[in-house]
Amino acid sequence: MAFEEEKKFFESYIREKNLKWSEQRMQILEIFLRNKKHLTADELYRMVKEKFPSVGYSTIYRTLKLLCDCGICSELRLDDGTIRFEHLYRHKHHDHLICLKCGRMVEVVDPEIEKLQERLAKKEGFILERHILLMYGLCPKCQSK
């Protein structure tokens, strides 16, 4: 099947933490990765439920937490209060362009912006650890509608 590398990575993380392998965890990881989009916990739950009707809501949350802990994914808290989970494994840091109409999300990076942020932080004496930049607007398709 697909995503062998990510699965291996997750399995070693689990082992390292003295946790146990489970069919559910692997299924959730696979279905999560199979989706390009940024999913909510509930969306992921529904997708997993299709292939694995007995799965519980808590298992989704628990697994997402593990996936975040080990760096495979991360939470993205949007302006409207929804939380979406994005792929992080072998995805470098990026910011987001988000369409206010259709919700499409584009991942972008601008090294200059990153540098300027560091400069700005230094000016105030802060040592930066991370940042979140969410840019909201209209995507090309939604502009013409």
Partner DNA sequence: TCCATATTGATATTGAATTTCATTTTCATG
Partner DNA sequence: CATGAAAATGAAATTCAATATCAATATGGA
**CA angle, residues 5, 91, 71, in degrees to nearest 5:** 65
Pick one of DNA, a second copy, none as the site partner of residue 145 (Cβ within 5 to 8 A by kind). none
Name the burial class of residue 128, with classes exposed (0-12), middle (13-18) and buried (19+) by CB atoms within 10 angstroms of its CB: exposed
Q: How far is the CB of 41 from a second copy (least distance, A)?
A: 13
20 vs 119 by CB, closer to a second copy: 119
Q: Which of 48, 52, 26 is nearest to 35 (CA)?
A: 48
Q: Which two tokens stand for residue 142?
A: 């939604």
- Near DNA by CB under 7 A: residue from 20, 90, 119, 145: 20
Question: Interaction with DNA in 41-60: which residues (CB under 7 A)?
Answer: 41-42, 52, 54-59
Q: Which stretch binds a second copy (CB under 8 A): 8-16, 34-42, 43-51, 133-141?
A: 133-141
Type of residue at 143: Q
Q: Which stretch binds DNA (CB under 7 A): 37-45, 93-101, 114-122, 126-134?
A: 37-45
Q: Are 45 and 60 in contact (CB under 8 A)?
A: yes
Residues that bind DNA (CB under 7 A): 14-15, 18-25, 40-42, 52, 54-59, 61-63, 65, 83
